Every structure is written in C-alpha cells, then in structure tokens.
A and B are shown apart, each in its own frame.
Chain A
C-alpha cells in the first residue's frame, strides 16, 4: 500500500528556514505535491510535480526530492506561514491517491 510519512510538527523562528519532509516508497517513481491548510480553510496547492509553484505562491516555497524522501522548504519563514502542510502523491495508473499525515508548522 502507499503510505507517506511526515513529522507531526516543525517549529522555526521568523526569518529562518523551515524544512518539512515526506517519506514513502512510491516517491522515487511518482511526482509529489504539497498543500497548505490554515484553520477552517480548504487546502491550497503550493507545490506540484516535485518543485513547481502555482501562480501566486511566493518564491520562498520550494520543493526537492532525494530518493524516497521529498522536502518542502520555506525560506525566510513569515508568521503567515503558520499552518498545516500535507504532501500528496498518486500511483502511476491514477487510481490511488494518498496524503501524508500532515505537519503543523509553528512560527515561534
């Protein structure tokens, strides 16, 4: 089965760099995606196809991959970045989608 594993929480001070990892055996063979979710709101796509940013997403958000682990990096974290972050992938046939468990980013 496809499973994606994220750390439950990450804490950083404003202006620092936050790195959120996502691990899974499916990741070397499939694209990964990242969503940001703030309380009471629907998720918002912030990274697609490993490292691309949709229009309107700040440049401080970036994605990278290394083997079975993908990483969301937020450079120069701002208070408004405090949110839950989810990685997501899908199998090659497009029949099964999976989310990581989510990581709560706290800006100290």
Chain B
C-alpha cells in the first residue's frame, strides 16, 4: 500500500535552515510528482511547490523562490524540502503530498512535520 512518511519534528533558531524528508513506498517513486504544503498554527494550507522525482525538476510558488529548495534521492525514494534563513513566521507543519495521476490534486499525504523556529 502507498505510504508517505516524513521526518520528525524539529526546533531551529532564527537564521538557521531546516531540511524535511519525505519517504515514499508502495509505488514507483519516479512516476508521481511530490508537492510541499505548509500550515502555520491555526492557519490554512499554503502550497509551496513541487518536485518531479524523475527529472529533479522543480517549481516553486513565487513566495518561496530563492529560500526553499526541493530535492530528491531516487535510490531511497525520498524527497527533501529545505527552508533557509528561518524566521518565526516559518513555524508551521510542513506536509509532503503525492500528486495524483492523472489529476491536479493530492491523493496521499505525509503525516506532517512540525518545524518550530524559536530563539
């Protein structure tokens, strides 16, 4: 069965970077785009961008261009999302989600990773 498992919660200081992992299993990793979505405490869902695990190509929401990087390691079916220059505004639960094929929606989600930015 399809599973998407993320790394555990993390606490970072302002100005630091954080890298969240998203390990997929139960399907061919390179056949489905992986998206990243974040949710600040008490707030809604915010789309960040996607990575094509096959080519490594990426597409970021304008807001995140230049300080968020999405990568993947096909040998271990894992996608990564790194946020640099963290501020308290980046405190959020970060989700990875698989894009359905065909379709422009998300059929499987990771459990979420809470990143807390605090001095």
Contacts and interface: CB of A to CB of B under 8 A. Distances in A.
The answer to whether A and B assemble together is yes
Contacts of B61: 96-97
Majority SS at the chain B contact face: strand
Nearest to B96: A42
B45 A42 contact: no
Interface in B64-105: 95, 100, 103-105
A43 B45 contact: yes
B32 interface: no
A48 B103 contact: yes
A54 interface: yes
Interface residues of A, number: 26
B3 interface: no
22 contacts: A31-B103, A31-B105, A33-B106, A42-B109, A42-B110, A42-B112, A43-B45, A43-B109, A44-B109, A45-B105, A48-B100, A49-B105, A54-B107, A84-B44, A86-B44, A86-B45, A94-B104, A95-B59, A97-B35, A97-B47, A99-B47, A101-B44
Interface of B: 35, 37, 44-47, 50, 59, 61, 95, 100, 103-107, 109-112
Interface of A: 30-31, 33, 35, 37, 42-45, 48-49, 54, 84, 86, 88-90, 94-102
